Chains A and B, each alone.
Chain A
């Protein structure tokens, strides 16, 4: 099998052997987030040249900015306004994409995404409840995070009551729990004040990074990086898990324990992503398919490639949402508008990666 991008490489790379071309592409995908981030930081209503962006980022990273020299618009805009937002977009994109790929692997189903166990619906309900009752952004975030975890815990615990076809039952119960929390969210919207709270809930559920500050980044980064390290660590085992529980057992794995570890990590990552960025659909479905088309189905490459592509995808979507129109468009709108045609193209061009 030759994943599609090895055939799309520019003519300059024709001299490379197919295997080396594939490796070069993989490396390119892994490196893509850095230049993409630097480029996107410069975009916006106040455009900043790339060299100024790089200088501001280096000053920030090395702690050599001289605050006593007076206000530096470029430095402040880069580090305090755009960097937090771009970092959040990239962490959230990477989280949603890699958890989607992971769930597709362990559920042996290319149609599932990060919300298969109801975490996003649970988080949405938690956020809506706090917006209705309190309205404080920190409490909204915390409620979204914890209710997201509760939704998955509920799905997992209920599924354990049934002894036949555990994977199928877990999928079904996850869908049911997600629908249950979506219904509760609809109930909250129904009783919410239509002039004040209802728009707030609706906008939150459409996703967005407008209110992200530098203070949101440490927790998001910590949970994202921790989860990514674990999922990267089990990348080989995901291949074996995707062959089914009996095969995994026969090959010396403990599928129940391993899947629990993966579900816990993925849930924490998704709940964190949703609590900061709201409900952002499609990333967890589209990006794993795009990555599989580019690097093949082997999770050893798929997991890192999905993280990188998810980060770049949401970064570009967020940049579009804040630059294309005079008013900012919610993220969840653009991920669907861009993601659905992209998925259709992937399916049309190449189905490599799943049978």
Chain B
């Protein structure tokens, strides 16, 4: 069943310079969708449009068949969450404070988090392995730890769809593995993920569906085995890419091919 769907979405920040042109994307339940593409190809804009914070200039976004932009912002945020790329706030909130912000859509108008919210937040912090840093200032953490904090906030939001904007960009291999295994596990528990990434190898390992973008358009869309091929990736990244296959002819790794030297 399709949970979230973008239909012929277009967007431009400057007139006549489209960042997204006629992009359509369906997010079924319990799925992990990877968005791949070069810098500036429109991945973040597409995620923002899918999250409900940036209305498309053409086309529509539907959540369970209803126009996402006609749903109240709190109800929308109870069902669709966005984990942004890393940022640094002005005030030195603790890790727990930042993760607690994920509970905001579930609070009443003048409400503050209660015992149940605190339990959910502590579980999310535990899930990403930050329990020891719970009371540390978010602004004093390393880039990877801040990214894990934002992912924990997304988990604490308890949405049906979670949109992750380059969630593993600053993480070491161990933490990449931890986050993506958590994603994979939650995908089996009624949460769908759309992940923008510059790492086709993790798409190979974790994606149910891969969308490759180039200059604001979708150039390939399908199962990883269909999309993560040398012609598609070489065209999308405008560089030679090599896909390494195992003995069963299944892709195992994606590497750039050197163009200068060996």
Please list the residues of chain A having a beta carbon within 8 angstroms of any beta carbon in chain B: 1, 105, 108-110, 233-237, 239-240, 242-244, 246-247, 249-254, 292, 296-298, 300, 352-355
Contact = CB atoms under 8 A, between A and B. Distances in A.
Given A1-B136, A352-B92, 6 more contacts: A1-B137, A236-B107, A252-B75, A254-B73, A297-B91, A300-B112
Given A109-B90, A354-B91, A236 B113 contact: yes
Contacts of B206: none
Nearest to B51: A250
Interface centre among B73, B91, B93, B111 (most CB of A within 10 A): B91
Interface string B81-105: 1101001111111100100011011
A242 B73 contact: no
7 cross-chain pairs, A with B, having the tightest CB-CB distances, nearest first: A252-B77, A252-B105, A233-B110, A297-B91, A249-B53, A252-B74, A355-B139
Given A246-B48, A252-B73, A355-B91, A1 B104 contact: no
Contact of B101 (A233, A246, A251, A352): A251
Interface string B124-159: 000000000001110110000000000000000100
B161 to A, nearest CB: 12
Interface string B61-73: 0000000000001
A239 B93 contact: yes
Contacts of A353: 91-92
Interface string B109-125: 11111000000000000
22 contacts: A1-B135, A110-B91, A233-B109, A236-B104, A236-B107, A236-B113, A237-B104, A242-B91, A243-B89, A243-B101, A244-B89, A246-B53, A247-B84, A247-B101, A249-B52, A251-B77, A251-B101, A251-B102, A252-B78, A353-B91, A355-B90, A355-B91
Contacts of B75: 252
Contacts of A352: 92, 137
B90 A250 contact: no
Contacts of B140: 1
A236 B135 CA distance: 18
A253 B107 CA distance: 11
B139 A250 contact: no
Nearest to B73: A252
Main secondary structure of the interface of A (DSSP, over half): loop
B77 A250 contact: yes
A251 B157 contact: yes
B105 A251 contact: yes
Contacts of B48: 246
Contact of A355 (B74, B84, B88): B88
B90 A354 contact: yes
Contacts of A355: 88-92, 139
Interface in B209-235: none
B136 A252 contact: no
Contact of B89 (A242, A249, A250, A298): A242
A249 B73 contact: yes
Interface residues of B, number: 38
Nearest to B105: A252
Contacts of B52: 249-250
A257 to B, nearest CB: 10
A236 B89 CA distance: 16
Contacts of A250: 51-53, 77, 81-82, 84
Contacts of A243: 87, 89, 101
Contacts of A252: 73-78, 104-105
Contacts of A236: 104, 107, 111-113
A37 to B, nearest CB: 28
Nearest to A230: B110
B110 A246 contact: no
B194 to A, nearest CB: 14
B113 A110 contact: no
Contacts of B135: 1
A252 B133 CA distance: 27
Contacts of A244: 87, 89
A218 B88 CA distance: 43
A246 B45 CA distance: 12
Contacts of A237: 104
Contacts of B88: 355
Contacts of A249: 52-53, 73
B77 A239 contact: no
Contact of A239 (B81, B101, B111, B139): B101
Nearest to B82: A250
Contacts of B136: 1
Contacts of B97: 239, 297-298
Contacts of B91: 105, 110, 242, 292, 297, 353-355
B110 A234 contact: yes
A199 to B, nearest CB: 42
A162 B92 CA distance: 31
A119 to B, nearest CB: 22
Contacts of B94: 1, 296, 298
Contact of A253 (B87, B104, B110): B104
A229 B153 CA distance: 28
Nearest to A107: B90
A61 B54 CA distance: 55
A298 B91 CA distance: 9
A218 to B, nearest CB: 25
Nearest to B79: A252
A285 B241 CA distance: 56
Contacts of A240: 101, 104
